[in-house]
Amino acid sequence: MKIKRIIGKIFPDTNPVRLLYHRLVAILAAVYYRFPADKMTVVGITGTKGKTTTTNLIANILKVAGYQAGMASTVNFQIGHNRWINDSKQTTPKPFRLQKLLRRMVNAGCKYAVLEVSSHAITQSRIWGINFDVAVVTNAANDHLEYHGGFNSYLATKGRLFEKVSTGRRKFGVPKILVVNSDDEHFSFFNQYVADRKISYGIKGGTIYANDIKKGPEGVHFVLKVPNNQIAVELKLPGEFNVSNALAASSVALSLQVPIEKIKEGLEESSVIAGRCEHVRVGQKFDVIVDYAHTTESLRHLLKLYKGLTPGRLFAVFGATGDRDRVKRPLMGGVANQLADYIILTNDDPFNEQPWDIIEEIAKGVPRQEGHAFWKIMDRKEAIRLALTLAREGDTVVCAGMGAEDVLVIGNKRIPWNEKKIIEELLKREVEVEIQPDVWEKRDNVCFES
């Protein structure tokens, strides 16, 4: 650890010396655990949005189909029927933890390993020594641009997972498969890679696509269309973007010869993933949603979904992560300004940045006067409290960014955090305040007008 700290202080994140250090650690981890990925069929999911949901859906389908499978995602880990929370704050674990997990999967008799793969993990060689057999891309949009030096570099990094599958050593009887989103504007980039099998999916079209989509507040109905067959699916995940995630998972399952009936069963048995469009209910008359959305596009999709499902007003409570992607902050503010009736900017893992600086950068995209349907509250709990206090019957409060994270990182401090539980505690507190009706009207007109 001392060597790592010294290297971290001297060399920037993407300096060749630092990347060489990461690679050496990854090599040692793979050798120490005896290359466990060689004993399984390994599926890698990359992209900007939807990776965690797609990863979980694939694992659920494989479980329903009767296969032993392991999984590693931003939110959780799985070995067989045992699942537990990922508390590392990393989409893809560091090499020794990842290789140890893969070895445990092998020892448990897992045939498949389903891994969420971040661009950081690819750049830092965390997946070195893992022979992937299937690569999936959900989509590609602006994210981590400061780390990668621009979108083209970020896109090329994502492509390295596809290249890894395309040029990787073949395991006996296991084909190399690529699954590509035909709806994504960068489809042609990922489609250029060669594989034994290539499957496209999309809502607008593809080898596998969806039809007759009917959206609801807590799920969506669609017809899964595959070559020479189709089946109706009742997905317990809301939003068209989750239909896309389900199509990606279905494409992987079909490529692995899972029957369509088992795919349907696996999708329908999948419940809402912690921190992903997760409803919080304690009997209140308005909806409260916890979600991990932390990019411009994911926030747009989230707010657009609940804008269409909300008869009343839409509240957006969110911030932005520190030490990365400053360019997206005012863009996120602009999205909220366009879609949300009320905006409350707050803290979201500032790491080593000053929280107020992050909030002010987001606020550049919000052309509203503070106090008029727009507030800046650094204390995240107090920000949520304000939204819950103002919400009325028919409204929706969306708390974005933290999702199911169990700590809030401020500088060197890791503060225990469970957004869902905090919201539940706030909602359960019944506070009776007697205010005359004319006072309420004055308060609404002066302080909270849109």
Residue 143 and residue 201 share a domain: yes
Q: What is the DSSP letter of 77?
A: E
Angle (deg, nearest 10), helices 2-10 and 16-32: 150
Copy the structure tokens of residue 238: 């809301």
* DSSP label of 351: B
How is residue 185 written in tokens?
């504007």
CA distance 180 to 213: 21
Check: CB of residue 131 under 8 Å from CB of residue 171.
yes
Residue 222 is inside which H or E element, if any?
strand 219-226
Residue 306 CB neighbour total at 10 angstroms: 23
The residues, ordered by sequence, that sit 6+ positions from 232 with a Cβ below 8 Å of its Cβ are 212, 221, 222, 223, 224, 264
- Cα(221)–Cα(213) distance, integer angstroms: 6
Label residue 250 left, alpha or beta by phi (over 0 means left) and psi (-120 to 50 means alpha).
alpha
The residue among 249, 269, 289 that closes a domain is 269
Q: Which CATH number characterizes residue 402's domain? A: 3.90.190.20
- The reply to whether 193 and 319 lie within a common domain is no
- Amino acid 437: pLDDT: 44
Coil, strand or helix at 198:
strand
Element (H, E) at 339: helix 328-339
Q: In sequence order, which residues have a C-beta less than 8 Å from that of residue 175 and are 6 or more positions away?
A: 133, 195, 196, 197
Decide if 70 contacts 112 (C-beta within 8 A): yes
Are 245 and 289 members of one domain? Answer: no
**Is there a single domain that holds both residue 146 and residue 44?**
yes
Residue 420 φ then ψ, to 5°: -65, -45
> What percent of the chain has pLDDT above 70?
91
Asked which of 234, 269, 304 is the last residue of a domain, the reply is 269
Q: Are 92 and 133 contained in the same domain?
A: yes
Specify the pTM.
Answer: 0.83
* 85 token code pair: 């929370």
Q: Contact at 8 Å (CB) between 113 and 70?
A: yes
Percentages (nearest 5) of helix, strand, coil residues in the chain: 40, 20, 40
Q: Residue 153: give the domain boundaries.
A: 2-269
Using 70 as the pLDDT threshold, list the residues of the chain that sit under it: 1-9, 11-12, 142-149, 430-450
Q: Which of 212, 238, 269 is the last residue of a domain?
A: 269
- Asked if 207 and 306 sit in the same domain, the reply is no
Longest dimension (CA), the chain: 77
Q: Are residues 75 and 160 in the same domain?
A: yes
Domain check: are 259 and 283 in the same one?
A: no
pLDDT, one tens digit per residue, over 95-115 is 999 999 999 999 999 999 999
Do residues 259 and 330 both lie within one domain?
no
Q: How many domains does the chain have?
A: 2
Domain match, 247 and 350 both: no
What CATH number did the domain enclosing 264 receive? 3.40.1190.10
Phi-psi region of 212 (alpha: psi -120 to 50; beta: other; left: phi over 0): left
Q: Cβ(316)–Cβ(293) under 8 Å?
A: no
Check whether residue 117 and residue 211 sit in a common domain: yes
Do 359 and 439 sit in the same domain of this protein? yes
Rounded Cα distance, 267 and 264, in Å: 5
